[in-house]
Amino acid sequence: MRKQIPVVLVAGFLGAGKTTLLNHLLHNSSGARIGVVVNDFGSIGVDAMAVAGQVDSMVSLNNGCLCCAVDASGLDGMLARLSGADLDVIVIEASGLAEPRGLIRLLLASEHEHIEYGGLVEVVDGAEFTAVRAEHPELADHVRLADLVVLNKIDRIADGVRETVEELAQGVPVLGVEHGRIDPALLFELPERREEHARQLSFLDLSEEDTADEDHSRHAHARYDSVEFESETPLHPRRFMEFMENRPAGIYRIKGDVDLGLPGHDKKYTVHTVGAFLRLRRSGWAAGERRGTRLVLIGAGIDGETIGKQLRSCEEPDPSQVDSQAMLPVLRFLPEE
């Protein structure tokens, strides 16, 4: 089965740093192929993309505003073009005033079988926050709607802004960064190997600035911690979903496979979260694949011991005793099959 390509929305008001963030993703993609939908090619260096052989994976908008440029079928057309390429992710940069709610609705309504909604990243201008909020009170709604808030320009952030944004975010993770430097792995799966494309010039190859500093990619990202959890004991579906729906603060991303072990539901459940966004997929265990749960949780200031204990308490050694009703919270997050 062909994989589905996650579509990540990057929204934010004028000048917040969306293009800067997108550029950072493109320069630090570790071989991931990123399709982009942008309003203005100029700012991300389309010439470099053409040289890198990625220009086929780009779609421009003629009237410059994503919110009014597309209805569901228009968006599908764009995504259809992009999904024809072998991409790991599609990033849509929503223009300054685009209403993210409408875009999310469009994406969720999209009937394109090869794409799936991958979450909303709201870029907030830490330097101009107070002025932007005064002019656009809807900023608060956008922050709440986001799956991950990137609080950009922390080099110029004013006192109290971080606290205010965290308060507005109401539990949505807020990641403070400079120049949009977030780790791409927070937003999408990085390919483990990509031999056939490895020799194609990447953005990194094309950028003298980056290649001049070999440590660049290691230092480029905001700091984060990663916690791994493994268990051979199945997890109780309801307890596990309670954990997932009340994830400890600071976790930006969870990925991995879960074994629930219930009779009739003994498939592999693949989990993917970006901030508050949660997606589950169900597939069969491959022949010879070791059953069990393997999760990686990524975040800032997270407490591995507590997370480990919380997940451990989801273990259920005798899943045959679990009422099948306990699967309901899981089924809610599965796509129709």
Q: Which residues bind ligand GTP (CB under 6 A)?
A: 12, 14-20, 96, 152-153, 155-156, 178-180
Name the minimum Å distance from CB 157 to ligand GTP: 9
Name the minimum Å distance from CB 137 to ligand GTP: 18
- Tokens 């609080």 belong to 151
Q: Which is nearer to ligand GTP, 178 or 315 (CB)?
A: 178
Q: Which is nearer to ligand GTP, 12 or 237 (CB)?
A: 12
Comparing CA positions, the residue from 42, 51, 5 lying closest to residue 23 is: 42
How far from 187 is each of 109, 272, 274, 278, CA to CA, in Å?
21, 10, 6, 12
Q: How far apart are CA 63 and CA 232, in angstroms?
A: 54
Name the minimum Å distance from CB 95 to ligand GTP: 6
Name the minimum Å distance from CB 209 to ligand GTP: 14
Name the minimum Å distance from CB 267 to ligand GTP: 41
Distance of CA 43 to the CA centre of its chain: 22
CB 83 within 8 A of CB 33: no
- 141 exposure class (CB count in 10 Å sphere: 0-12, 13-18, 19+): middle
Name the minimum Å distance from CB 16 to ligand GTP: 4
Q: Which is nearer to ligand GTP, 13 or 229 (CB)?
A: 13
Q: Which is nearer to ligand GTP, 19 or 28 (CB)?
A: 19
Q: Which is nearer to ligand GTP, 16 or 169 (CB)?
A: 16
CB 127 within 8 A of CB 73: no
How far from 78 is each of 38, 75, 280, CA to CA, in Å?
11, 5, 25
R_g of the chain computed on alpha carbons: 20
CB 34 within 8 A of CB 53: no
Q: Write out the two tokens for 285.
A: 């265990």
Q: Provide CB contacts within 8 A for 136, sequence distance 6+.
A: 13
Cα torsion for 226, 31, 181, 63, to the nearest 10°? -130
Q: Which is nearer to ligand GTP, 106 or 177 (CB)?
A: 177
Q: Provide CB contacts within 8 A for 197, sequence distance 6+.
A: 31, 33
Q: Which is nearer to ligand GTP, 141 or 178 (CB)?
A: 178
Q: Which is nearer to ligand GTP, 67 or 72 (CB)?
A: 67
